[in-house]
Chains A and B, each alone.
Chain A
Amino acid sequence: MASSPLDNLAEQTAQLLATVAALGSIDQLRDDEPMITGKRSFLSTLQKSLGVLAPEDRKDAGARLQEARRTVEAALEGRRDELTRAARLRQLEVDRMDLGDVVVGAVRWPATVGHPSLVAVTQRELEDVFVAMGFTVSEGPEVESDWYNFEALNIPPAHPARGMWDTFYVELGEPETVVLRTHTSPTQIHLMESAVARDSLPIHAVMPGRCYRRDTPDARHLAAFHQVEGLVVDHHIAFSDLAGVIETFTRAYFGPDIESRLRPAFFPFTEPSAEFEVTCTICRGEGCRTCSQTGWIELGGCGMLDPAVLDAVGIDGDEWSGFAFGFGIDRCAQMRHQIADMRALVENDARFLRQFS
């Protein structure tokens, strides 16, 4: 039998594996890699020499060579992992620090100017307006059951009204029973339930928070956004009180020359319901592109608590009445600061963030 270029393959492979095992550092591995598996390795040289073999032998030889290459490569990768891990462990030891020993007075602390987020600034200002009007501030969870997000708000399962919200469903419980809240309104229900349980009516509260809608983000919408919900449950509360609160708030936040108006709308949880609009802050009511030439910008929805909602939480509608409203915090910020593209709010570009204080 004629001698084949692969006669010494087993020995040569064993030698290579020994070389790999002896590699002492990542740098050395990187330097030697071409000689082990790269172009300068004997594996590559042998590959080229397969041409001298008879075609019937070539296939078998090729397979043996491939096998050898795989073995060496696997060993090399294993060694690379070991060395990387060892290097990391060494680095961690070098880094090791007892953070209890930090002498705070000696830490260099550059004078950097920080900035609160636009949403936080806006939310605070809105909260302050409402607190001054006598509202308390409550909060609720972002993951809700369908009962709180929909049904207690008079939106039964499969009702077309659920289509008013593009809902993210959460993979918990039966399908469609757990949602990312699509509005802050479920917090109303929590608040009324606990007030009933503790016998602590009346309620005068606003509820800011993050909500989610399954909406592809664009210049005007983000899939996550912030709302303020308002809820009053008291004796002798009428629609005119709602209109007055909206007006007082609008002027306090946007300025004395900004007016509000209500127009009929439909929300399953309020009756009568209204959209409220404010004078366009861009054109001051003259009519411009932002307000589609109408002079008004739609801000949110509101209405008198629907008797079905009072029923759902066990409040006696003959004794108590009330109203609710909700609107976008981000939208207020967008109007105040004339932000052309809402996506800037989540891009966290320091040049954007540092404009707010």
Chain B
Amino acid sequence: MRIALSWLTEFVDLHEAPEELRPVLDDLGLIVEDIEYVGAGLEDVVVARIDEIKSIKGADRVRLVVVDAGAGPVEIVCGATNFALGNHVPMAPVGAVLPGGFEIATRSMRGVTSNGMLCSARELGLSDDHLGLMVLDGMIDPVVGAPLLEALDIVPDVVFDITVEGNRPDAWSVEGVARDLATRFGRTLRGPVLAEPDDASSSDTFAGASIDDPDLCGRLTVSVLRNVKVGPSPEWVARRVRSAGMRPISNVVDASNLVMLELGQPTHPYDAAHVGQRTLRARRARRGERLLTLDGVERELATAGRGLGDTGEDCVIVDGDDRVLGLAGIMGGAASEISDSTTDVLLEAAFFDPMTIARSSKRHGLRSEASNRFERGVDPHLALRAAARYVAVLRESVPGLLWMGGPLDLWGEVPTPPTVEVRSGDIERLLGVEISHDEAADILRGLNFSVTSRGEDLVVVPSTARLDVRSGAAGRADVIEEIARLYGYRRLPRRTPTWPEPGALSGRQRLRRHLRDVMVDLGATEAWTPTLGSDAEFDLLQPGVERVRITNPLSAEESVMRATLLTGLVRAWGRNIERGTGDVVLAEIGVVFAHPSTSTASRATKGGVGGSVILQLPYENERATVVLGRPDDDASSAVALWTTIRDRLGLADVVVRSVEGGPKGMHPTRCAALVDRASQAVIGFVGEVDRELVDALVVTAPERRLGVLDIDLDALADPERATRRSEVALVPSRYPSAAIDLAFVTPGAVHAADLAHELASASELVEDVALFDVYRGLALPEGTRSLAYNVRFSAPDRTLGESEVAATRDLLIARAHALGATLR
């Protein structure tokens, strides 16, 4: 909201500089986004007439212009061409400092001297127009030599651009902001000039009003204004309206806007001649009713609700013939609009149910200055004061204006201000500092709250402008927040609390950190790929599978929640390849999503209005996926990566088991599941990326194998599924161990890890079994390969003898034989 300093000072004395007010406003929660200095830097700029235009030898972009600014001819070099002889333009003389601090000096070029600058509107900070000089002819009646500020009727001022928080309906007005400042500074708040209704006439003889639906319209006042003459507003009114960023339209409309900006009460003037039976009624819109609003859009009213919590209700203002005149509190209709011929005005000042306005405004996609205020809650007691102010303002341009006596004033349901008890010690409990009840009471009274003492307690009734203040404990917090806000957050003490419970990461978090560290140590660089992708991308790996969709995506390319990290990582690798930085191992730890209908692990949670329904939400599966994209990477390097991670994470025995047709996107004949031997749970997959996937995602992929490791963190973090190594440490034997090599011709169906496991568990003397060579060749029977293991034997209490070693060796060979493996 834009608020002019000159306007504020009508309500409260402010001798502080704007830069001094800024931190005060910030500290009051009225955040100053910007300070605009209207007219600053234009003090020296004058109106000049173009008398001569000459070309400059050797220059084709600039010309020499001779102007008269009231003190004889001045030569100025100028690059613009949008003017003609006799035009009037702004001139900044030598020595002037323009907005932005640009100082005008004499400049010489190509043998001529420039003695000032002719300006565009943008150079003067007046608009964004910089296509040429600001030509004044046609805008005003220019007088040579006149100060530009005077010529344009600009009064230097300062405008604060303030963001008002959602719980400050009262601060959507000059008076509301002034009230905060007056309270903070301990100064007096002055009210504006108000008019009085005419005693001798009576409104109800001329007009009527009624409220049909008191739950939607809490108050409807109608003032009858006669002898109206529509015309331009007085300059001060137009300036005020402009300072707030609105456009002056006519005295009748501008006065309404001015009152809204000043006091926070939106009002609506109707041409009484176009209001059936000169009667205004507030009621629920009926299904099928339509309205042409002032913005030229025909709107269907009382449609079905759109979105959660929307009742579909609209509150409308209708006339005595039941014709819809406007969408109450949001926008009027075209039919009863003020025109040049209007002589009698019905001025509506009302209170509407904030939630009704909020829902209507959202459903119709229609926001207005009025709806912004009504949906936050306008003071229900403000209506007639606003009408009185309106009349006072309009009377300046319509001296014969008559405000008929006994303005129509109907009441429906309005919120009653709660009575809030602030008990002794409450302030200290919430804020951590004791603020005396006297000081607190002063602050609250400054805000128009009523405060009485009851023993040690304060009994507070908030101002009717503060519909945000609730009752009970919540109201107590609201009231104490107001005390703290005016007292100053910066004055509140700081203390760092302590407690006996220790801080800690969860086991899952420690595991994730550990995993990340190991992956990074092994050369992986962590990426962050998008959670949202396209249907086409989803279909690459899960064609036709039901997916989690976004209802309102920014684009179709970002409308589906990912079910894998693989596509994102391959794409990221591809982009690096294009940039010549593709020799990388990329990893990501992130969540993938499965539609509740496709997962047994979907999450039931409460939702809907009041949390009254049970919703099935997607299964969120955290995974760690690595794509190995360096020149020599392949399935083997991926297996090596996994094996190192497995050992570093202390997993007891998760083996690599080749699977035919693993998950889509993995190379069908180079893919293995990571299987925990004890639980048989699958912890993830390892292998290569299917070349088809690479080709689908990367346009110019080199002929390179991409290794891939994909770990299910939910499985990994679950000790029931991913069995941990025993914490009991084994102390190696002090006696020397014996090592032998054994090579077995092994059927393809027997996993190397299973054979190793068999060997290791054959005898207590086996200390370690390590695969060191795999041989395939024509010398071996078809469907077999030779697996060579290095086996170490030891005993805790002795050095093993040759015969003992030989016997154990035979035992191992027998065990291998049982699996179908024969000694080579």
Binding site for B on A (CB under 8 A): 88, 92-93, 95-117, 119-120, 124, 127, 130-139, 141-148, 151-152, 156-161, 163-164, 168-178, 180, 202, 204, 210, 212, 214, 216, 223-224, 232, 234, 236-241, 243-245, 247-248, 261-266, 268, 271-275, 304, 306-308, 317-318, 321, 345-351, 353-354
Contact = CB atoms under 8 A, between A and B. Distances in A.
Contact of B613 (A164, A173, A224, A350): A173
B780 interface: no
B585 interface: yes
Contacts of A176: 307-308, 551
Question: Interface SS of chain A: helix, strand, loop or mixed?
Answer: mixed
Contacts of A172: 548, 596, 615-618
A261 B491 CA distance: 10
Contact of A169 (B309, B552, B572, B632): B552
Interface of B: 26-29, 31, 165-168, 307-310, 355, 358-359, 362, 375-376, 428-433, 470, 472-474, 476-478, 480-481, 484-485, 489-490, 492-499, 501-506, 508-509, 513, 516-517, 519-532, 548-554, 558, 561, 572, 575-576, 579, 581-582, 584-587, 589, 591, 593, 596, 603, 605-611, 613, 615-618, 620, 630, 632, 635-637, 639-640, 643-644, 655-658, 667-672, 686-687, 692, 748, 751-753, 770-774, 785, 787
Contact of A102 (B485, B528, B635): B635
A170 B584 CA distance: 35
Contact of A107 (B513, B596, B616, B636): B636
Contacts of A354: 525
Kindly name the residue among A104, A130, A175 whose own CB sees the greatest number of chain B CB atoms within 10 A. Answer: A104
B530 A224 contact: yes
Contacts of A144: 605, 617
A336 to B, nearest CB: 17
A177 B607 contact: yes
3 tightest A-B CB contacts, nearest first: A157-B309, A240-B432, A264-B29
Contacts of B490: 261-262
Given A108-B632, A114-B524, A353-B527, A240 B494 contact: yes
A146 B608 contact: yes
Contact of A168 (B553, B579, B584): B553
Nearest to A206: B503
Nearest to B751: A100
Contact of A132 (B489, B503, B576, B616): B503
Contacts of A136: 501, 503-506
Nearest to B28: A264
Nearest to B640: A107
B481 A348 contact: no
Given A117-B526, A238-B431, 12 more contacts: A92-B667, A95-B670, A101-B787, A103-B773, A134-B502, A136-B504, A146-B308, A160-B358, A234-B497, A240-B492, A264-B481, A307-B472
Contacts of A212: 531
B377 to A, nearest CB: 10
16 contacts: A99-B639, A105-B772, A106-B772, A114-B525, A115-B525, A117-B527, A132-B503, A136-B503, A145-B606, A151-B610, A212-B531, A232-B497, A239-B432, A247-B496, A273-B481, A348-B528
A263 B29 contact: yes
Contacts of A96: 669-670
B355, B359, B492, B672 pick with most chain A CB within 10 angstroms: B492
Contacts of A243: 489, 492-494
Interface core residue of B575, B607, B620 (most chain A CB under 10 Å): B607
B528 A142 contact: no
B527 A159 contact: no
Contact of A202 (B309, B499, B603, B616): B499
A143 B375 CA distance: 29
A120 B526 contact: yes
B425 to A, nearest CB: 11
B495 A240 contact: yes
